[in-house]
Structure formats: structure tokens, C-alpha cells
Structure 1
Amino acid sequence: MSEPKEVYEAVLGQLKSSRSRKSLEAIQAVCKEHYESGAVDFKVATIAKLGASRGVPSSQTIRNKTGAAYRAVIEAWQALGNKKKKAIKAQTTPSGEYDWVDEVSNKTHHYLILDLISKVRKLRAENKRFASIKKLEIDYRADTEDTPESRLPRLLNHEIDALKDAISEESLKVKGWTKTDRGSIKDHTGKIIFRNGFVDGIEKLLSLDIGP
């Protein structure tokens, strides 16, 4: 599978009209930003709407016979989006525990739920690693050189934000989920999504000074 950049450069070199080249450049820029935002939907209508004020042709123009070059670039980004969706699904549904996600008909909600489950699985693994630390040795000497053995792993800003988002009231409300007094999370039907102690564990992790 060719990468979007390779397809874009190959197609751009075949276009002779400066107008067509500018349109293709606008499509590539919009698709790149859309992908980097976490999106996986690259329908023609979606890209045309997002880039309407930036020089991207209308959806009808892109679908026309003369829009083959535009479609080639968009399709390359869609292939990359599909690959990302498969990777997320493979990470989040290994044992059938989350088969209920397939019943979510809204594609955007379906992707967001899978993305959240993927993040939570990663955080659970990190939480287990922290829990395995039985003894923490702190070097109070003047020498400030860090070693892997003398400090906890540092969480990046986006990892901290992901932890906060996983248990925030606003994020849970969007999905129709709620916290319980015992630290579990339930969906709107009362089904347990994350077991007792899940919320408490993340809150304890966030209370540690392990940011950048």
C-alpha cells in the first residue's frame, strides 16, 4: 500500500494546470490535518466540506471524471485511516469482552469508544507496572544525574490528558456512562464497563508527580 505522501507527489507531478495543482495541495493539507486530529473518515464529502474555504474543490468536482487525481490522494488517506481502525479494533477486542461495541451504529461514536478502550488498556498496563514497584529508592545526594533505577517513568502531557479524559464527567456524559461510589464505570444500561477501583487507580496515578 502506497503512503499518501507518495501518491500525492506522484499525482502532483502529472498535473499541468496550476489551478489543479493548488487544489491538490489543498486536499493533501486538509487530509493530513484531518488524520493527525485522530480522524479515520476520509469520505469525499467530508474532505470537501472541511476544505471548502481553503481551495478544496466541491465534492461533485472531485467525483467527476476530471477529479481522478484528487480521488487518488483522498483514497490513499482513507486506506491509512482503515489501517488505523483495524489496529485499534485488534487492540481492544481480543477476548469478546467488548463485542457490544459492534452494536453502536454511529460510526463516530463507535470509533471514539474503541479509541477510549485502547487508551484505557494501555493505562491499565502502565498501572500494573507501577503497582509492581515494591521499593522506591530515592537518591538525595547533590549529584542530580538520573538513572532508570532511581526514578519513576515520566508521563507525557498527552498521556496525562488521556488519563484525565478517561474519567472526566464531561467525557463520560457524552458516552452515557457514569462513575459509581466504588470507582467502577457503568454504561446507560447499568452494565459494568470498567471494574471497581478503575477510577480510583487513575486518580492516584494522576496525584503522583510523574509529569514532564
Structure 2
Amino acid sequence: MNSPTIGHPDIVLGTLLAKGGRAHRLARLTALHEICRRHQELGSCDFSLSTIGRLAEAEGILKGRVLYNMQSADYRKLILSWATYAGPPTLQPSKPLASHEYLMRIQDPAIRSIMQAIIGERDKLRAEVNLLKSNAQVVVDRRPIGARGPGAAIVLPTTTHGHDAQLTPSEREALEKAVSADYLDGHGLHESSHGEIVNEHGRTVFDVGFARAIRKILGA
């Protein structure tokens, strides 16, 4: 852990105190050293100026913002020695998304696959909606389909095929099962008044309108 150029924090403190100076400054250095020592003994590797500044301010040693001043180079050197001694901070494993956790609880692989596709489509639509919201103005063309303005190209009708025609029998059966009361109850879930799926703790698993959307896809 020790750095060959910075040295153990005790040695760094001794060097800084040996420089002399006002008694108030020497007392601050010693107190800051003890704060860092206790922080390291608790197993922390976070010796950022913001973190140590908050600890020092909480104990009335100095204001956290003082550490960023040009005159506080000795304080920063002492903190850096502790950061080097403690080693780099331990990276915390990323927490899986709540939707992923609930997907993994679905034992039927067919339903899990369909649910995953639905969540992906939901996230895509949500991103598109947010993009539209970011635009200050949205121009909606309400002219009849096929109408043509001066110098404008003909607007051709667009045919949209329903999702129902794209479902296989097994996919339809899986979707029907996914929103059935018996299946949801068996997995500790239930459908709320606005079509959202919530767990036994009242936490929303799938957003408002989820069950209704599936039934619309099924043509129910």
C-alpha cells in the first residue's frame, strides 16, 4: 500500500510538523491525521477531499472548503498519504435493474422471453417520448391522408398491422397466462386498478397500463 514517494502517513505528518509554524496549524494537522486514521480503521478507502472535508467539518476542525485553498497544500499532502496508504476504493458491484430481478423470478422461459421483449419495447417507447418532450415545439400535420399542399409531396397512407396478426399460438397463450389472475397470484403478484402489476409488498413491477396493453395486443 505504501508509496515510495509519499511514505507512511505518520512519517508525512512528522515531516509537516517539523516545518514548524503556528500552533493552531500544527494542531489542525494532528487532528486531521487522527480523523484519517479512524476513517481508515473503519475499512474505508475513500480519502477524497470532499469526504475528509465533511468529517473534519463535522468535528469542528476546519471548514471542508478550506482544503481546496492554495494555502492548504500541507493538509492535502497528508490526506493524499492516507489515500495512498489505504489503497484504491473498492468498486461496488452494480445493482441489477428491478425489472431484471422480476424477470428472473418467472420460471416459464417462454413467458420470460415475451416479458423481456415487452419491457424492451416499453423502454424504447419511453425513450422516444422523452425525446419528443425535449422538443420545444411539435408540429402535428392534421391534413387528410393523401392531401397535397402547394409544392408539397403527396402524403401516402401508411398501413399499420396489428400485433395480433404477428403472434403465434404459443405466444398468445403465454401472454394470456401472464396477465391471468391465477398466474399472478401464484407468483405473489396482482393487477391493480389501472392495469399495473404490483407485488405482495405493493411495489410496482410493471407500470400503469401494462396488463391493459397486453389485452389490447391480444384483441381482448
TM range (shorter): 0.3 to 0.5
Larger Rg, first or second structure (1 or 2): 2
Query: What TM-score does the superposition give when structure 1 sets the normalisation length?
Result: 0.40
